[in-house]
Amino acid sequence: MASLLIKNGRIIDPANRIDRVGSVYINEGKIVSVNDDHAGFKADKEINANNKIVCPGFIDLSTRLREPGQSRKATFASETAAAAAAGITTLCLQPDTVPVIDARAVAELIKDQAEKTGYMQILPIGALTQKLDGAELSAMVALRDAGCVAVSNANQPLKSLLILRRAMEYAASHDLLLIYRPNDHSLANNGCVHEGSFSTRYGLPSIPDAAETIALAQCLELAELTGCRVHFGQLSSRRSVIRLHQAKKYGLAVSADVAIHQLHLTEDDIIPFDSAYHVLPPFRSSRDRETLNEGLASGTIDCICSDHQPHDLDAKLGAFPETEPGISSLETLLPLMLKLVYDGTIKIEQGIAALTHKPASILGLERGALTPGFAADICIFDPEQTWEVNSENWRSQGINTPFWGMSLKGRVTHTIQAGKVIYLQDRK
């Protein structure tokens, strides 16, 4: 494997508290050193990162690639190309594929498809229950041994709190990470927007924030009872952040992420009847968004994810409640994070940490840092380059995004995975 030298870039590596202009030396797919002058190092290839930021490759904790089972929406090839263009070097795949990732054979199928695509870092999340039906527990240890980095029931409900307790006991006994998207489905009641002014004005079925906070509170109680490590996925409400802060204060082994779009949009931004704004959890109030941003800045919320869900056109046609929820969001992950930096909400080190070493730490991966000996997963981006979200720049097969046609600031120029350049921006 070729040796590589990245020089003259501003290196930001929050895990190692590095923020300086320097060089990164790579050999045999691994980091050799950062900023040390290696007189005898001969690079087969050099990248001049002048006026650019060099950081660890991003780790996305929640994605759907629509394969296996729904290739009409997207494919491994299309979505990994989008991920590479977004500086993402590791994708965590939710278990609600077709078939569900509830057996060793399905997890191995995911790994085989990743290898064929040439994007090696697709990490499956195993199903918490068989077929995600919420009743019978899956063979979690077998799924872990097959390469699953955690277990989750995705967005599907569990039949009872007893099932959740048994799952958490099982996970705790084998030191498995349990990822939980808090949502009381009976309270959510098939709603499609936040229970607030927008739902009232347009008569749409709504979801109160209590559907999230009650489910989160129940899970926190069981986490304390069982000692299970729990990661809460895609928080959306102010009171969830408050409860999470209290839980961390009292020493519970919990963490959380937020989808990047929840940090920017609220119910007031929804264009009536435009299904690009149909997401779960729904866009909530301005106060909820402010608290989510404060939670990220304070460290109460650990990570940012894309919650990438590409759809075909048919899935987003029809009346708003009848359309499928979700945003195609890999390629807007970096510029939307940088917008938080430019707005003064967070520091750039915090934004990069929330996309790199923090998710790596939660998953127990030796990634997300430019540590010598680690795999050379690296993102190089131009923080000042502006671009428009349009068909000329978009790689995902799903174009379901409320940011379509907007001008965004911040663009990836190089993505390196295990020492191999998997994306190089074409400026022609």
Helix axes 161-173, 210-226, angle to 10 degrees: 40
* Spatial CB neighbours of 346, under 8 Å, sequence gap ≥ 6: 293, 296, 297, 340, 354
- Catalytic residue annotation: 307
146 by DSSP, 3-state: which?
coil
How far is residue 297's CA from residue 367's CA, in Å, rounded to a whole number? 22
Q: Would you list the DSSP string of 247-303?
A: HHHTT--EEEEEEGGGGT--GGGPPTT-GGG--SSPP--HHHHHHHHHHHHHTSS-E
Task: Give the residue among 200, 202, 213, 281 at the shortest CA–CA distance from 241.
Answer: 213
Say whether the peptide bond before residue 281 is cis (omega within 30 degrees of 0).
yes
Helix, strand, coil distribution of the chain in percent, nearest 5: 35, 25, 45
Q: From residue 293, give the alpha-carbon distance in Å to each of 118, 230, 401.
A: 35, 21, 21
240 by DSSP, 3-state: which?
helix
